[in-house]
Each structure stands twice: as C-alpha cells, then as structure tokens.
Amino acid sequence: MGKAIKTAVIGAGSAVFSLGLVRDFSLTESLAGSTIAFMDMDEERLERVHNLARRYATEMKADLRFEKTTDRKKALEGADFVINTALVGGHEDQETERKVLEEHGYYRGLHFPYHQLKLMLEVARDMEKLCPDAWLIQSSNPLPEGCSLMTRETNIKVIGLCHGHYGYRNIAKVLGLDLNDVTFQAPGLNHCIWMTHFEYRGEDAYPLIDEWIETKAEKYWKTHVPTFMDNQMSRAAVDIYKMIGLFPIGDTPRAGGWWYHTDLETKKKWYGPVGGFDSEIGWAQYLDYLRERVNHIARVVADPSVSVTKEFPPVQTDEQQVPIIDALVNNNEGRFQVNIPNNGVIPSIPDDVVVEVPAIINNRGVQAIHVGKLPKNLMLHVIIPRISIMERALEAFLTGDKRILLSIFLHDYRTRSVEQAEAAVEALLALPFNRDIAEHFKW
C-alpha cells in the first residue's frame, strides 16, 4: 500500500509540464489518492490545466484529486511537496530584455534573474510558515543560484532538477551503443556537468568517443542535420572535451566559452546550420516549438470529445519529480540526478554551493553519491569561474548594491567600456516590468 500526499505546483499554467506531471502521477499506483494543487497567476491558463488534468485522470481511472488557485499560500497549506516550475514574466520579458541589451552591444543579451530569485525565496519562506516539513522540488532556472539562495536563507529541504544529464543518451545513440548497457556519471554544476565516468558493458567507453572523433566526426558534422536542441555531439562539444579532458553533457556544450558565441556565423561553425540552441535561429525555433505544444493542448482542452490519453499516451515521462516523491514517501528507492548543497560531495567546492550529482533517494532522504575530486583543469577553467558568477549574482540580489550589478556587466567579454556597461544597466532597469529591480538597487 502506498501513501496519499499533497503536491502544490507553483507556476502550474505551464501546461506541458503540468500535463506530464499528471500523467506520471496517474501511472504511479503507490501515490493513489493524492492531491495536486495547481497554482498560477494566470486564471485562463490555470483553468486549462485543471480541466485537462481532470479529464486525463478520469480516462486513466486514476485516483487523484485536483485543486486550483491563484493564491500561493492556499496552495502551500498542508503540502507534503512543492514543485516550483514558474518563469516570472515568461519568455516575452526575456526577449524584451534581450532586444534592449543588444542595442547596447550585448549580442544575445545578458540576463540577471532577479525576479526568479525573488520568487524562489518567497516560496521557500512561505513554506517555512505553511508547510515547513515539505520538500521543495525546484524545476525552473536558475538552479545553482536559486537553490543555493534558498538553502542558505531558509531551512527548507530543496532538490533542484534538470534534464541535461540525459545528454549521455545522445552520445550512446551516435556511437551505436545499446543504452541498456551504458552507465555514466556526470557531476558538476547545473548546466555545467561533465562525464567523469562512461562505461559500456563494464568497460571504459571513452576510447569509443575518441575513435568516433578520429574517424567519423567530420562526416557526421557534414551530413547530420541538427535540431535546435541538438548540441551534444557538436564541434563545440568535442572542442570543449579536447580542452578540458572530460566530455560536457547536456546543456553544458551550449555555454562553452565566449569564443563559440561571438556572432551567428561563429555559432554556426561550432553548432551547425542552426547555430545551436541559443542562436537567434535556434531560440526562435524553440519558442515556436513551445507555442505549438501549448496550442496542441489548447485544442484538446477546447474539444471535450477528444480523448486526452490518445493525444498524450499514458507513458511515463523522463521527468524525475514523481519518482522522487514516490521514493521519499513509499521507499521505492531509485538513483537520480539532483541539485543539492555540496556538503563535501565534490572536494574543493564550498559546502553551501548547490552542485549537480547522482544520488540514491528513499524514505531516509537524499544520499548523494560522492563523485570524487574533479580535475584541476576543469576546476580552474570552468567550475570556479561559474561559482564566482553565481556568488556575484546572489550578492547583488541580497544587498541591492548597484555596483555589483554593474560588475556583472563589466566582467562580460562584450563590454568595451564602463560607459557601455552603465548605459546597459540603466536601460535594463528602465523597462516597465523591471521597476521593482530599479527600486531595489542603490549606489
């Protein structure tokens, strides 16, 4: 017998995510009788998700209960788990910021996640009052900054989740390996994880990558037509591997160094014809992809005669939220990739920095798997600079010191003068939806 629990979903208007969550709950019999409380500020989107969830559970004959509210505190009351998937302002605000900053010489923009950090901290503090024993599963970015902030400033138990570690599957596919015989380990920081172990049928599989690079990579790059999300086996990923000594996994090749991103032609050189996920072409395709998925859901919601389970077959998703909940509640133990405070898991990284590592989760909690020391080359050139970026952002957020916000721009490779950085900061703060940020920061 399982146990029924209450899960509050903050930012539930993200219909694609919420539908996947309902699907996974419906397929997890040990969580029968559970309640999902959807919370979102957009009433129309909230109603759409609630409608779809009820229909899906009915078709699945799943014993689930659903609530909907625009009141965050009401959703949190009595919750055993809280999933925060909210993106404040959506992609629209981010695109507006990008356009303004490009006018000041910052190609593809520079994002300071003030609103995301503010929301994350508010949710965690509300949880301390309303459901202090609940687990918070943070499912929206930025995870290193947000999860480090929440675990430092509150006593809430936080797990951050991302999909990037599944990038190893793409490597296996390109190499022609049976995924069932592949094992891997990819620790680091979120969106900055590195394959320290890669084995096939018990043997080190890195030589297979090296052989592919030597004999097949050029043909692959010339003939393969990548999608906007297809960065795992790009020229950039291989170049990063050669420089660092470990293969970058998932979202990690997207960043690399600034030299992969100076302009669209450079992006195309390293990531293929689309220019990678973050190019103006790739990002536009991603937004189109999201719109089509949302429109698909809207069409299903608008037609009660349509079978929801036929449109969205009842197959377990790759999301880890529900399996983790099941492991913690019902002791259905599993191995997961999570973002948690380091606490000695990776030597040379401060304990209060949230890292991404494999972990065993059961009813005793989260037991991180100690991954050992990362190579010095990786620490010096990637990990330590990334932690510095995180710490600068958190200090700016917590203190409201405008000098620190300015320093974020001054440390960017696209900055050519103090005047350029100052003008960009002022333009960013002048945007109507950033009025609260402008009030927060003082010289």
The one catalytic residue in 71, 163, 210, 224 is: 163
Q: Which pLDDT score, from 0 to 100, does residue 331 have?
A: 97
163 is catalytic: yes
Neighbouring residues of 101: CB distance < 8 A, sequence distance ≥ 6? 109, 110, 424, 427, 428
Radius of gyration of the chain (CA): 22
Q: How confident is the model at residue 145 (pLDDT cuts 50, 70, 90)?
A: very high
104 is catalytic: no
CB distance 59 to 308 below 8 Å: yes
Neighbouring residues of 174: CB distance < 8 A, sequence distance ≥ 6? 212, 220, 232, 233
**Is it the case that residue 160 has pLDDT exceeding 90?**
yes
How many residues are listed for the chain in this entry? 443
Q: Is 360 helix (H, G, I), strand (E, B) or coil?
A: strand
Q: How confident is the model at residue 15 (pLDDT cuts 50, 70, 90)?
A: confident
**Is it the case that residue 121 has pLDDT exceeding 80?**
yes
Give CATH for domain 6-161+303-322: 3.90.1820.10
The one catalytic residue in 24, 40, 251, 278 is: 251
pLDDT tens per residue, range 184-235: 999 999 999 999 999 999 999 999 999 999 999 999 999 998 899 999 999 9
Q: How confident is the model at residue 443 (pLDDT cuts 50, 70, 90)?
A: confident
CB distance 139 to 161 below 8 Å: yes
Outline which parts of the chain fall under CATH 3.90.1820.10.
Answer: 6-161+303-322
Give the span between the Cα atoms of 377 and 389, in whole angstroms.
18
Cross-strand partners of 189: 192
pLDDT tens per residue, range 41-63: 999 999 999 999 999 999 999 99
User: What is the percent of the chain with per-residue pLDDT over 70, rounded to a whole number?
Assistant: 100
Q: Which pLDDT score, from 0 to 100, does residue 215 have?
A: 98
Give the span between the Cα atoms of 384 and 412, in whole angstroms.
16
Using CA of residue 297, residue 300, residue 301, residue 302, what is the dihedral sign? positive
